[in-house]
Structure 1
Amino acid sequence: MQAQKKQITLEDIWGGTFRTEGLEALRSTKDGQHYTVLNQDRDRQVAAIDKYDYRTRQQVGTLLRTDPARGIPYFTGYTFSEDENKVLIATQVEPIYRRSRLGVYYVYDLQQEQLTQISERKIQEPTLSPDGSKVAYVDQNNLYVLHLESGELLQVTEDGQPNAIINGVTDWVYEEEFAFVRAFEWNARGDKLAYLRFDERDVPEFSMDVYGSDLYPFPHQFKYPKAGEANAVVSLHIHDLDSGQTRDVDLGEAYYIPRLQWMHHPDHLSVQTLNRHQNRLRLHRVDAASLETTLLLEETDAAYVDVTDNLTFLPDDRFIWTSEKDGYNHIYLHDTDGAELRQLTSGPWEVTAYYGYDADEGRIYFQSTAEGSILRDIYSVSDRGRGLKRLSQGTGTHQATFSADFSYFIDSFSNVDTPSVYTLHDASDGEQLAELQNNRELLGRLEGFEMAPKEFGTLEVNGYELNMYMIRPADFDPEKKYPLFMFQYSGPGSQQVANRWHGSNDYWHQMLASEGYIIACVDGRGTGLKGRDFKKITQKELGKYEVEDQIAAAKLLSERPYIDPDRTGIWGWSYGGFMSSNCILKGNETFELAIAVAPVTSWRFYDTIYTERYMQTPQENPGGYDENSPLFFADRLKGDYLLVHGSADDNVHVQNTMRMIEALVQANKPFEWAIYPDKNHGIYGGNTRLHLYNKMTRFVLENL
């Protein structure tokens, strides 16, 4: 007789029972034959950068280790200089926003065995010059350069001021939406720094109360441009270290400057600019000697053009570019003057990650959905666009980390049945050379728990074939009727239905399945990986087609004999909370319950870059903003609705939830709500997640 399996508990999920092991901070060395890993013992506050041989997987040395006797502190991050003679280490790191960090940083000279503290203060984004002789960094919105040998400190800018002028790092909205913080770059010779300056004096200020533990709360104030409001005025500057001169670069009508990258030529800087609508992207070459700018490429789209990190300059400054212009995201090769030489990949599938170019072999490495939109595989193709090779084996999600010379790659693989496995491969043909790490112990642990399979399929909705997964109770009986609980995110270009290992929400869904719920997730129109037209159909109407698809999917699923059409719920976080709110209001005949965590309730409250990319401004498109805002449909609420937010959410402000509460109160509608004090968009810290999921679990069990 089989032993009774345990049900998953929230304490298991948030207590680390199902945590997977990974390879931490792995870097290939320049020779391509070795890699380094940051090995940490957090309890003992000891860190080491250990070096391994790719071929033998044997440790061949320790490059740096915490050693209080020698003044080497515990560190949590590292980067090498280009010649690998120096290593920059991060200590006492604290987050500012999603990507920005403050920390105390040191440079360790591996040959001289000498440690240099960059600054007594906590600084941002320290970056070694290519020859390792200098380090540039930002301190209190100003850019500095430290000469490591002489100790001479050069202050490049002097006008930095909180909530006014920023030099060398990005403002809040660039960090969040263009996904970068460091806004300065060294040229190849290390004698010039290109940097961005943000003048945010005209940007409206957002203030949120921090309750803390003192007698009085205090306001946290920062510049946050909401849709239609003024953005920071961003300008490009080049500082010449030899002359000490800083010069301004005229880029014409450059509303946004989302990327800077020096070319191999030490005087040639590439700069990407966007108009406010983000539907015209230009790639410029700036000559740092003459300040002459040349337009290399212009890309336009009726909706918007995505900004990526895929631009790669080949040794002769021809370049690789990715574009959706043929209807799917693919790789193109361009000449030094910007002319398109050839399209290197094509087909009704997407390139999802670009890994790099091997100049010796003339091959390009990338990840794509060629095997199916819910899968990821690793490929190579020649720079002539020939000889496409699949390098990964096994159905699921593959991610690669290549050695510097592209002779090896480490594949991180998972699927719905396999937690992350790390394997070493020959990059020429994908042959597996060794297994580096697996999570079989976790699989063994899960044997003792009740787990129902996640079943993938498609659903024909509104004329489109939508990807779907479903989790049915382990003791599923087709003669019974089960409540349906749907999960989605639905934001532009996103994907929830993917063949990969479980996240924490998957375990929560398993727990609910054990309680007799059927869980379903449907990626509707507007989500990603199915081509440009499918993704961009929601342009100027966020929340229209996505909501129609969730309502239609719920109705279709409710026709199945084992689903109770009178017990249908939906939940989501952030964009998913915006969606679940709209679904229970506009789909009040279909949904009996909704949970919205940290939802947008009006796109008028969200930031310029994200919102205007998809909606243009509220002044241009008022109907698009208001006709799909749950604030205007509060009087339609019939079912059970739970609204949750963190009071210190710098991203989707708690204002969204407060306005939704007021709309529901004035419509005299009963609902449940919870505010988590001083918690950001992630709503975590201590027992916070456990408390939140306990609350959501009770809400589902009592009302669905």
Structure 2
Amino acid sequence: MRTFRFFLLSCFFLTAIHTSAQTQNISLEDIWNGTFRTQRMDALHSMKNGQQYSVLDYDRVSKSTTIDVYDYKTLSKVKTLVNSSDIEAIPYFTDYTFSADESKIILATDVESIFRRSTLGHFYVYNTSDASVTLIAEDKIQEPTFSPDATKVAYGLNNNLYVKDLVSGETKQITFDGKKNEIINGITDWVYEEEFGFVRAFEWNASSDRLAFIKFDETNVPEFSMDVYGSALYPKQQVFKYPKAGEKNAIVSLHTYNLKADTTNEVKLDKAYNDFYIPRIKWTNDPDVLSAQYMNRHQNELDLWMINAKKESAKIAIAEKDNAYVDVTDNLTFLTDDSFIWTSEKDGHNHIYHYDKKGKLINQITKGNWEVTNYYGYDDKNDVIYYQSVENGSINRDVYKIDLNGNNKTRLTKNTGTNNASFSADFTYFINTFSNTSTPPEYTLNEAVSGNLVKRIKDNSALSKKLLNYKISEKEFSTINVNGNDLNMWMIKPLDFDATKQYPLFMYQYSGPGSQQVANRWNGANDYWYQHLAQKGYIVVCIDGRGTGFKGAAFKKVTQNELGKFELEDQIDAAKKLGDRAYVDASRIGIWGWSFGGFMSSNALFKGNDVFKMAIAVAPVTSWRFYDSIYTERYMTTPQENASGYDDNSPINHVDKLKGDFLLIHGSGDDNVHVQNTMRMVEALIQADKQFEWMIYPDKNHGIYGGNTRLHLYKKMTNFIDAKLGDKL
């Protein structure tokens, strides 16, 4: 009944948008000054009792931070666990981590970013029993991590690993060869951090007496340097190791340290690997057995090893192979008997599997022509798996449960759109975040067993009400048949759209492998920008072509070895088909994208010069030879093996085809897609005698933000669109 009531309210909201006095235009200032900011729930930690959760709160008056504990069922505050105003050494902290038994908490202070995920900071251990505080190290350190028994903390400092004994107070250095830009122990190098998505490359075993860690020898990895202009008289230079496609990677090795014996052993395997990766390590419940994933450089073979650190023996549990590549995930889960959960695309779609501890398949838990998009965990009391999938359509997300044996699958979420769950530690409850294109994020507490609503936590009704005053067009979902495939598409038309008139068309895409931009979820900042453009008289369209995700492995991996070829064909042919529609002015079609999307928009303007009048490329890859090894070679192998795949599809080699209007934008401090890409493109355009416009944002990284930067960027892009496509508006 409540679901039906919610559906009526949603319908009312949609109707209200289109029938109320929508008089106010969305300005660029509105978008970037927080006018449309959504209320969100702070990241929470589910307490081990499963009935409570903790959140980090900040008091703007006292300028102090607290860790507050709340009851799931009542949502009422139970207690304040930590208050920085009570701790003389810590005026405030910005993050916290519990020990496994929740007797101690690591508090983060003075945190500074290194790259996308890595940070340095001062960290303290707070003891909940006596409120005592212990500084872990005088220096700024990385990734402090409790041992399972909460008696020790391991951390990285200056490329070495240390262990602090919280009982004796003594700190022991356990590696000694760490050196900047040469040897890193237990912390990932730049390319692992960026492409394998993790920083901490060390793990405690279950009995807290062994550490496993990965060592990176990046001595022979080529260096990249960036000027940092800052505000001083002389700029600084940032130098770091960055393996581009086909160049030397760091040499990795796996080691285990025995705390009792004070000895370190390198893991030796009876399989010869040449130029390989170790993208994941994880101890099993057996304190002697470590799992490690080894992957060849092409990333089309992945071996899951079970390594006995005590016996110094190892066996392969799973050997995955793929004609294209094998995805690395964090879904490996060990059950009490050390059988394990694993996800794989081996049947053509991403699904969940159960193996015994030796790697023998027990059963495939989920099946079907749809993708599992998130694995939430395993409830060992009830033998139930919780996951998210696109079974209800590739642009939607729902939360499901299923028995470990693959029976009794149940859809837990009720509303069509994007649902994402955060479960309590004992899987009694989950907090669901729901949104779709007409409903801003709503947070509800639900029973895990049934999905039934327990309580509404937070919504964005105030934002919904505010938007009634603005000219908001509906985001229309559909498919468009291009090159034999029904591609997902959304379209935003001017609110006063008249099918007898012709409108300029502006296309957005990202198009990267496994990505998705056509999704039934609430607005991001760019969606408001598209509404701003629609108010000016543009039709805005986004199409997910071949190579994007959540429609099966074959659809995603068809682009292998030809990154940008089929994706570009789909964007060009889709533009042609849209240009044939009576209400589209085929002489005024533009396209834009960021990063991979900038690579695509550049290619679209050059190779599709008879279709596109203009393009904007932000932080684009202009040659795959300039980008990093792990990402690029996953889809392209190496340039030594696949020179034509690299060069035929890189826009820097097609500048001679430019006929339309081109705007090129980059941040000079981009450590990911280096500004080298744009500089080399600029030089190529100059030598080809091609006129274009460009903009460099000093010291800005791949996200190009900070202060007034985003507003300036979007004003520049909007002005360019108006000048090149909007001449008849």
Q: Give the Cα separation in 2 of the matches to 1:156 and 1:414.
A: 48
What TM-score, normalized by structure 1, do the two folds share?
0.99
Q: Counterpart in 1 of 2:115?
A: 97
Q: Secondary structure at the match of 1:456?
A: strand
Tell me, in whole angstroms, the C-alpha distance in 2 between the residues paired with 1:41 and 1:200: 44
Give CA-to-partner distance per residue, 1:414-471, whole Å, 9 cap, x none. Answer: 1101111110010001001001111111111211211111000000000001000000
Superposed CA deviations along residues 198-219 of structure 1, whole A, max 9, x for unmatched, are 0000000001111111111121
Aligned pair partner of 2:199 in 169, 181, 192: 181
Q: Does the 8 Å CA contact 2:123/2:136 hold for their aligned counterparts?
A: yes
Aligned to 1:203: 221
Using the alignment, how far apart are the partners of 2:634 and 2:397 within structure 1?
27
Unpaired stretches in structure 1, ≥5 consecutive residues = none
Superposition RMSD in Å? 1.0
2:591 alignment partner, SS class: strand
Q: Within 1, Cα distance between the matches of 2:242 and 2:153?
A: 30
Contact 1:397 1:415 survives alignment (8 Å): yes
Identity rate, percent: 61
From 389, 405, 419, the counterpart of 2:410: 389
Q: Using the TM superposition, give the Cα deviation of residue 70 of structure 1 relative to its aligned residue in structure 2, in angstroms.
A: 3.8
Residue type matched to 1:216 in 2? Y
- 1:545 aligns with 566
Matching residue's letter, 2:157: D
- In structure 2, the CA distance between the partners of 1:69 and 1:403, relative to structure 1 (3 Å rule), is closer
- Structure 2 CA distance for partners of 1:478 and 1:388, relative to 1, 3 Å: same
Alignment equivalent of 1:306, drawn from 327, 340, 346:
327
Question: Is 1:460 equivalent to 2:481 in the alignment?
Answer: yes
CA distance in 2, matches of 1:348, 1:595: 36
Q: What residue is the counterpart of 1:321 in the other structure?
A: 342
Unaligned runs of 5+ in 2: 1-18
One-letter amino acid of the structure 2 residue matched with residue 661 of structure 1: V
The reply on whether 1:636 has 2:637 as its aligned counterpart is no
List 4+ stretches of structure 1 deviating above 6 A.
none
Residue aligned with 1:641, SS:
strand
Classify 1:265/1:558 alpha carbon distance in 2 versus 1 (closer, same or farther; 3 Å): same
Distance 1:320 1:69, change over 3 A: closer
Aligned residue type for 2:176: E
1:490 matches 2:511: yes
Match of 2:190 among 172, 181, 202: 172
Find the residue that maps to 1:420 and give its secondary structure: strand
1:464-613 alignment to 2 at 5 Å? 464-613=485-634
Helix, strand or coil for the counterpart of 1:328?
Answer: coil
Alignment partners' CA distance in 1, 2:254 and 2:327: 21
Identify the residue that residue 126 of structure 1 maps to in structure 2.
Answer: 144
Whole-angstrom CA distance in 2 between matches of 1:253 and 1:386: 41
Given residue 528 of structure 2, which amino acid in structure 1 is its aligned partner?
Answer: Y
Letter in 2 for 1:634: V
**Deviations 1:531-588 (CA, angstroms, capped at 9, x unpaired):** 0000000000001000000000001111111110000000000000000000000000
Partner of 1:615: 636
Report the equivalent of 2:33: 15
Letter in 1 for 2:132: Q
Q: Give the equivalent residue in structure 1 for 2:313.
A: 292
Find the aligned partners of 1:135 and 1:581 in 2 and give their Cα distance: 49
Shift of 1:640: 0.6
Residues 65 and 85 of structure 2 are in contact (CA less than 8 Å); yes or no, is this contact kept in structure 1?
no
Aligned match of 1:85: 103
Aligned mate of 1:215, from 217, 233, 258: 233
How far did residue 149 of structure 1 move? 2.2
| Amino acid in the other structure paired with 1:600 | V
Match of 1:258 among 272, 275, 279: 279
In 2: Cα distance, 1:445 partner to 1:138 partner: 48
**1:161 matches 2:179:** yes
Report the residue type matching 1:441 in the other structure.
A
SS of equivalent to 2:352: strand
The CA distance in 1 between the partners of 2:181 and 2:435, in whole Å, is 44
From 71, 75, 84, the counterpart of 1:53 = 71
AA of the residue aligned to 1:192: R
1:651-662 aligned within 5 A = 651-662=672-683
Give the whole-Å Cα distance in 2 for the aligned partners of 1:396 and 1:700: 31
Deviation at 1:135, TM superposition (A): 0.5
CA distance in 1, matches of 2:710, 2:110: 25
Q: Distance in 2 between matches of 1:56 and 1:24?
A: 17
Structure 1 Cα separation of the partners of residues 480 and 63 of structure 2: 51
Question: Residues of 2 paired with 1:152 and 1:545: CA distance?
Answer: 59
Is residue 146 of structure 1 aligned with residue 167 of structure 2?
A: no
CA shift, 1:4, in A, is 5.4
Q: Secondary structure at the match of 1:67?
A: helix
Aligned to 2:9: none
Which segment drifts farther, 57-66 or 358-367? 57-66
- Equivalent residues, number: 704
| Aligned 8 A contact 1:25 1:77 in 2 | no
Distance in 2 separating the partners of 1:128 and 1:2 = 56
Q: Secondary structure in 1 aligned to 2:707?
A: coil
Alpha-carbon distance between aligned partners in 2 of 1:291 and 1:648, rounded to the nearest angstrom: 45
Indicate the residue corresponding to 2:242 in structure 1: 224
Q: Secondary structure at the match of 1:374?
A: coil
Q: Supply the distance in 1 between the matched residues of 2:420 and 2:308 (Cα, whole angstroms).
A: 37
8 Å CA contact retained: 1:192, 1:241 = yes
- Give the partner amino acid of 1:266: P
Letter in 2 for 1:172: W
C-alpha distance after superposition, 1:48-82 (max 9, x if no partner): 11111111111111111111564343111111100
Q: Is 1:72–1:115's contact at 8 Å kept on the other side of the alignment?
A: no
The one-letter code of the counterpart of 1:506 is: D
Question: CA shift at 1:291, angstroms?
Answer: 1.4
1:373 corresponds in structure 2 to 394
